[in-house]
């Protein structure tokens, strides 16, 4: 449901206009308080006496560039001078007190542009009107005779008043009702859509940018934690005396299992998966705390998952795949039509647990004293972190200040705030001192929030001409929210179709890892479709285009217009990527290409980009694989900043390559086997593709998310390309578990219907 405009109206009504609220510090500029004659306007901006402007960014910057792109949006309508902008992250307490004035503060689902484009344009335009009204009163001119430019009001005759000069008067003027505010004609945009350099570009090359892990406070102590090594395990005991005399050790804190906050707003599928018992050692340095924790004897009760492994889970999923599961989408008569099919193809695809592994290790600093609680944490969901901190501390929310720093990578991992609860529990046990808790990389890998382990069983029927007349897909996955959209929200309408979907409880909680269920199911769906194309002797593009048939959309379908739009967008980007990738031209022996197309349409009104990819690979016949070319064409609606969008697509390409090559977390006896990057490689320069072509489609549509769309299609195209190059059909991940030698000429090792193992 798109409620941007309406919820903004509601929140506007709730904010009493004209009040200058007390200055709050946010993590962006902790050491840089505002002078007392700064003026806050309408919660969104603070005008400074020197005519610089603080813009409140109601999202976390996890690398996706919202500090810049959202500033572009607000500054466009407010006519700000770009060099005068000083962004700062929003304050969750202010947002709470003002009834969600910042509209959408959870940084997930690539939603920043989609959900904040309208509210921030409107806020900028309203503040501009307030400033104009104040300037008119002061100068005696009519508002209609004034205009704005570069953070100034221009008077008839050319006189100027800076925004700073009229800000105080403007702050006492009620914001105009949005219905009476005219937004700019996009033709007049001078910021939106322009490749402006990131506002934080230079400090990101000098080491001066502050992430959560860089918080530094007087007298600060350090904490290192060890959680139950088995998911769901309980702490039995630890022997504090064994480390009490180690240098610098301040104490050992028992962290209780329990709720750890939502990983997204409830309306968007947020859930609280709870966290397990943990032990923290507090010392006067990280290194000493870490050494002492390694020396601390801890006894755990491993609990119900003590003997669970990826292998046993997969065996259970496979066995369930042999039985009927709940139907989530059905059309025509699958059972009857499959019997009439000229050819029947079957295959099992599977997907392992994975880990997002952002590079900044999980950390949180908490300081409980007589004034209340201060918390600093790099998180994707600061609003929930603030609530969780208050609940954990047992304090009313207004006595908790949450400071949001920059985030050294999120990728969904930091939607979950369990570490905030841990740090606050430590601060409660050792009050009066700021304590920075840092997880080791080993702890991060042991306690990830994976996408669900999944099996996807396909059966399809082709007619004599190679058309898909029957489609069956039974999916069983581990712990996750309802992700039946993955198998069920296909853009095509095969006449006889049945989709079944079920979930079982698995040890780890679920995390929104970049690409989420689309990465899993776009690959599995289009990997299988590629198999159908091969079986039918057809070009996969030809098969996709046939499936993306407007005429196949049932006339009585609810949301038929959306279904048709999806098909048109997909056909357009697929056609275009085939042109720029020269799809028709065959490659030499040992080389191959694959293709994929998808959007990110979780549900009918979910604004999403549409993207298509062609990937070319080379197999050396000795198991070696090289990704030669990646082409991506993306339509993401209006582009706020093309360079930022390109960066997101490039990042998604390497995310896809890492996922395909190495993506796997293995459980054995309830424990994660991989300990650090030596057990779980990621793409590096040597494995990164050197030839990338990204084409962005120009569009006036509402801006759509771009942070994830290229992940599933690039991975799918890459895995299909391996088969095209003469390699094996890939039905499980990662590639590092497969032998990428050439198939035998008789095809005996590549028959469809033989599920690949390797889990």
Partner 1 sequence: MGSIMMRIELKINGSTMSAEVDDDTPLLWVLRDTLKLKGTKYGCGIGQCGACTVIVDGQTARSCSLAATAAVGLEVTTIEGLSANGDQFVQKAWQDIRVPQCGYCQSGMIMAATALLGKKLFPTDEDIDREITNICRCGTYDRIRAAIHAAANGRT
Nearer to partner 1, 206 or 748 (CB): 206
**Site membership for partner 1, residue 66 (CB under 8 A):** no
| Minimum distance of partner 1 from residue 692's CB (angstroms) | 5
Distance of CA 365 to the CA centre of its chain: 24
Of 143 and 692, the one with the shorter C-beta distance to partner 1 is 692
Q: Which of 26, 38, 44, 65 binds partner 1 (CB under 8 A)?
A: 65
Q: Is there a contact between 534 and 723 (Cβ–Cβ < 8 Å)?
A: yes
- In the complex, the smallest distance separating the C-beta of residue 219 from partner 1, rounded to whole angstroms, is 13
| Position 533 contacts partner 1 (CB under 8 A) | no
Contact between 247 and partner 1 by CB under 8 A: the answer reads yes
Q: Is 654 in the site for partner 1 (CB under 8 A)?
A: yes
> 126: cis peptide before it, omega within 30°?
no
In the block, tokens 């006519």 appear at 79
Site for partner 1 contains 219 (CB under 8 A):
no
Q: Report the nearest approach of partner 1 to the CB of residue 453 (Å).
A: 22
Residue 49 buriedness (CB in 10 A; 0-12 / 13-18 / 19+): middle
Q: What's the closest the beta carbon of residue 665 comes to partner 1, in angstroms?
A: 15
Among 676, 749, 753, 757, binds partner 1 (CB under 8 A): 676
Q: Kindly state the smallest distance separating residue 214's Cβ from partner 1, in Å.
A: 4
Q: Which is nearer to partner 1, 150 or 695 (CB)?
A: 695
Do residues 299 and 236 make contact, with C-beta atoms less than 8 angstroms apart?
yes
Between 337 and 613, CB nearer to partner 1 = 613
**Exposed / middle / buried, residue 37 (Cβ in 10 Å: 0-12, 13-18, 19+):** exposed
User: Interface with partner 1 includes 209 (CB under 8 A)?
Assistant: yes
**Exposure of 215 by Cβ count < 10 A (0-12 exposed, 13-18 middle, 19+ buried)?**
buried
Question: Closer to partner 1 at the Cβ: 42 or 655?
Answer: 655
Helix (H) or strand (E) holding 571: helix 560-580
- 3-class SS shares of the chain: helix, strand, coil, % to 5: 35, 20, 45
* Residue 201: CB minimum distance to partner 1, A: 6
Report the C-alpha gap between 99 and 526 in whole angstroms: 44
Q: How far apart are CA 17 and CA 20, in angstroms?
A: 9
Kindly state the smallest distance separating residue 289's Cβ from partner 1, in Å. Answer: 11
- Residue 420 makes CB contacts below 8 A (sequence gap 6+) with 260, 261, 364, 366, 375, 377, 379, 385, 388, 389, 392
* Nearest of 47, 51, 29 to residue 38 by alpha carbon: 47
Which residue in the set 57, 70, 213, 553 belongs to the binding site for partner 1 (CB under 8 A)? 213
| Site membership for partner 1, residue 647 (CB under 8 A) | yes
CB atoms within 10 A of CB 1: 10
In whole angstroms, give the CA distance from residue 680 to residue 661.
10
241 near partner 1, rule: CB under 8 A: no
Scanning 149-157, 383-391, 402-410, 550-558 for contacts with partner 1 by CB under 8 A, the matching segment is 402-410
Sole binder of partner 1 in the list 43, 59, 64, 109 (CB under 8 A): 64
Does 1 participate in binding partner 1 (rule CB under 8 A)? no
Least Å from the CB of residue 205 to partner 1: 4
Pick one of 2, 237, 285, 589: the residue that binds partner 1 (CB under 8 A).
Answer: 285
Residue with Cβ nearer partner 1 (91 or 214): 214
- Interaction between residue 360 and partner 1 (CB under 8 A): yes
724 binds partner 1 (CB under 8 A): no
Which C-beta is closer to partner 1: that of 208 or that of 399?
208
The Cα 277–Cα 173 span in angstroms is 52
Q: Minimum CB separation from partner 1 for residue 19, in Å? A: 36
Task: Say whether residue 62 binds partner 1 (CB under 8 A).
Answer: yes
Alpha-helical (H) ranges within 15-97 are 66-78, 92-97
Beta carbons within 8 Å of 449's beta carbon, 6+ residues apart: 263, 273, 356, 412, 413, 416, 508, 509, 510, 511, 512, 513
- What's the distance, CA 254 to chain centroid? 32
DSSP 288-308: HHHHHHHH--EEEE-GGGTT-
Question: Using the rule CB under 8 A, is 381 a contact of partner 1?
Answer: no
Q: Measured between alpha carbons, how far is 516 from 512 in angstroms, rounded to an integer?
A: 6
Question: 590's torsion region: left (phi>0), alpha (psi -120 to 50) or beta?
Answer: left
Q: Does 528 bind partner 1 (CB under 8 A)?
A: no
* 682-711 residues near partner 1, rule: CB under 8 A: 682-686, 688-690, 692
Question: Of the candidates 407, 475, 516, 532, which one interacts with partner 1 according to CB under 8 A?
Answer: 407
Determine, following the binding rule CB under 8 A, whether residue 82 of this chain makes contact with partner 1.
no
Q: Is 355 in the site for partner 1 (CB under 8 A)?
A: no
Token code pair at residue 724: 């095209």
Q: Which residue in the block uniquely carries the two structure tokens 């056909």?
A: 571
| Position among 79, 88, 114, 210 found at the interface with partner 1 (CB under 8 A) | 210
Site string for partner 1, 180-199 (x = CB under 8 A): -----------------xx-
* Residue 650 lies near partner 1 (rule: CB under 8 A): yes
**Min dist. Cβ of residue 226 to partner 1 (A):** 15
- SS3 annotation, 214-236: HCCCCCCEEEEEEECCCCCCEEE
* Least separation in angstroms between CB 546 and partner 1: 33
Rank residues 8 and 280 by Cβ distance to partner 1 and give the closer one.
Answer: 280
Site track 113-152 with partner 1 (rule: CB under 8 A), x = hit: ----------------------------------------
Region near partner 1 per CB under 8 A, out of 273-281, 328-336, 407-415, 498-506: 407-415
In whole angstroms, how close is the CB of 221 to partner 1 at the nearest point?
Answer: 11
**Closer CB to partner 1, residue 107 or residue 716?**
107
Task: Show the binding pattern over residues 422-451: x = contacts partner 1 (CB under 8 A), - = does not.
Answer: ----------------x-xxx---------
The secondary structure of residue 465, as a DSSP letter, is T
The two counts, helices (H) then strands (E), for the chain are 19, 27
- The answer to the question of residue 291 lying near partner 1 (CB under 8 A) is yes
Q: Applying CB under 8 A, does 361 fall inside the site for partner 1?
A: yes
Residues 6+ apart with CB under 8 A from 614: 577, 578, 581, 583, 593, 594, 595, 629, 630, 631, 717
Placement of tokens 């009620």 in the chain = 174
Minimum distance, C-beta of residue 646 to partner 1, in the bound complex (Å): 9
Residues 6+ apart with CB under 8 A from 503: 452, 476, 477, 478, 479, 480, 482
| Contact status: 246 vs partner 1 (CB under 8 A) | yes
63 sits near partner 1 (criterion: CB under 8 A) = yes
Query: Does 203 contact partner 1 by CB under 8 A?
Result: yes
Q: Does 513 bind partner 1 (CB under 8 A)?
A: no
Cα 509 to Cα 356, 383, 418, 480, 680, distances in angstroms: 13, 21, 11, 8, 20
Minimal CA–CA distance to 288: which of 241, 243, 229, 240?
Answer: 243
# binding residues, partner 1 (CB under 8 A): 66
Nearer to partner 1 (CB atom), residue 139 or residue 681? 681
Please report, as residue ranges, which positions from 615 to 644 form the binding site for partner 1 (by CB under 8 A).
643
Helix (H, G, I), strand (E, B) or coil at 468: strand
Binding of partner 1 at residue 554 (CB under 8 A)?
Answer: no
Q: CA–CA separation, 248 vs 70, rounded Å? A: 44
- As a whole number of angstroms, the distance between CA 93 and CA 386 comes to 7
539: Cβ–Cβ under 8 A, 6 or more apart, which residues? 533
Instruction: Name the one residue in this structure whose structure tokens are 């993207």.
Output: 611
Question: Tokens at residue 755, please?
Answer: 């599920």
Contact positions vs partner 1 (CB under 8 A): 61-65, 197-198, 200-211, 213-214, 216, 222, 246-247, 285-288, 291, 295, 357-361, 406-411, 438, 440-442, 643, 647, 650-655, 676-678, 682-686, 688-690, 692
């Amino acid at each position: 449901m798109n409620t941007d405009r309406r919820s903004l109206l509601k929140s506007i009504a709730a904010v009493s206009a004209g009040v200058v609220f007390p200055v709050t510090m946010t993590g962006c500029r902790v050491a840089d308080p505002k002078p007392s004659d700064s003026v806050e306007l309408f919660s969104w901006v603070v005008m400074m006496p020197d005519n610089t402007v603080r813009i409140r960014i109601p999202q976390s910057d996890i690398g996706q560039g919202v500090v810049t792109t959202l500033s572009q949006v607000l500054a466009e309508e407010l006519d700000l001078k770009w060099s005068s902008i000083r962004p700062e992250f929003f304050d969750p307490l202010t947002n709470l007190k003002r009834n969600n004035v910042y509209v959408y503060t959870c940084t997930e689902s690539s939603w920043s542009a989609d959900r904040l484009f309208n509210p921030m344009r409107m806020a900028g335009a309203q503040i501009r009107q307030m400033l104009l009204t104040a300037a008119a009163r002061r100068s005696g001119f009519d508002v209609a005779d004034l205009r704005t430019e570069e953070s100034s009001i221009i008077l008839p005759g050319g006189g100027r008043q800076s925004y700073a000069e009229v800000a105080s008067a403007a702050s006492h003027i009620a914001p105009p009702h949005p219905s009476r505010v005219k937004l700019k004609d996009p033709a007049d945009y001078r910021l939106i859509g322009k490749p402006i350099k990131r506002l934080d570009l230079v400090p990101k090359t000098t080491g001066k940018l502050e992430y959560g892990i860089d918080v530094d406070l007087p007298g600060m102590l350090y904490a290192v934690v060890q959680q139950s090594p088995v998911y769901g395990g309980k702490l039995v005991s630890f022997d504090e005396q064994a480390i009490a005399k180690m240098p610098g050790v301040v104490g050992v804190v028992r962290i209780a299992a329990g709720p750890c906050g939502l990983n997204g707003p409830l309306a968007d599928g947020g859930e609280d998966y709870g966290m397990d018992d943990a032990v923290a050692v507090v010392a006067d340095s990280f290194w000493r705390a870490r050494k002492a924790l390694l020396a601390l004897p801890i006894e755990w009760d491993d609990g119900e998952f003590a003997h669970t492994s990826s292998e046993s889970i997969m065996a259970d999923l496979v066995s369930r795949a042999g039985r009927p599961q709940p139907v989530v989408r059905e059309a025509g008569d699958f059972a009857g039509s499959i019997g009439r099919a000229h050819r029947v193809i079957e295959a099992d695809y599977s997907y392992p647990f994975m880990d997002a592994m952002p590079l900044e290790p999980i950390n949180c600093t908490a300081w409980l004293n007589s004034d209340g609680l201060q918390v600093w944490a790099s998180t994707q969901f600061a609003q929930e972190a603030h609530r969780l901190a208050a609940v954990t501390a047992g304090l009313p929310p207004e006595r908790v200040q949450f400071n949001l720093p920059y985030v050294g990578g999120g990728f969904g991992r930091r939607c979950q705030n369990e570490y905030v609860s841990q740090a606050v529990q430590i601060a409660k046990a050792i009050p009066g001192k700021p304590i920075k808790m840092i997880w080791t990389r080993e702890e991060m890998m042991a306690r990830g929030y994976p996408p669900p382990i999944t099996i996807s069983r396909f059966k399809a029927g082709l007619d004599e001409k190679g058309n898909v007349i029957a489609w069956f897909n039974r999916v069983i996955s581990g712990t996750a929210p309802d992700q039946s959209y993955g198998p069920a929200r296909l853009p095509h309408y095969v006449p006889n179709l049945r989709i079944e979907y079920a979930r079982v409880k698995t040890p780890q909680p679920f995390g929104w890892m970049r690409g989420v269920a689309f990465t899993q199911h776009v690959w599995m769906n289009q990997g299988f479709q590629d198999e159908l194309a091969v079986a039918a002797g057809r070009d996969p593009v030809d098969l996709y285009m046939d499936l993306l048939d407007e005429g196949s959309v049932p006339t009585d379908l609810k949301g038929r217009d959306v279904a048709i739009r999806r098909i048109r967008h997909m056909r357009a980007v697929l056609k275009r990527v085939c042109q720029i990738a020269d799809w028709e031209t065959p490659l030499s022996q040992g080389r191959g290409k694959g293709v994929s197309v998808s959007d990110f349409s979780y549900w009918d009104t979910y604004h999403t980009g549409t993207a298509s990819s062609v990937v070319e690979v080379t197999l050396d016949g000795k198991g070696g694989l090289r990704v030669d070319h990646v082409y991506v064409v993306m339509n993401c609606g209006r582009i706020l900043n093309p360079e930022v969008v390109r960066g997101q697509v490039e990042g998604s390409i390497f995310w896809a390559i890492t996922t395909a090559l190495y993506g796997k977390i293995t459980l054995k006896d309830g424990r994660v086997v991989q300990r650090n990057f030596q057990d779980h490689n990621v793409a590096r320069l040597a494995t990164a593709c050197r030839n990338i072509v990204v084409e962005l489609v120009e569009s006036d549509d509402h801006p759509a998310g771009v942070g994830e769309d290229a992940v599933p299609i690039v991975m799918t195209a890459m895995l299909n390309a391996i088969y095209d190059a003469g390699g094996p059909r890939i039905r499980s991940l990662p590639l590092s578990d497969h032998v990428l030698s050439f198939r035998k000429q008789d095809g005996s090792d590549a028959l469809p219907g033989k599920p690949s193992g390797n889990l």
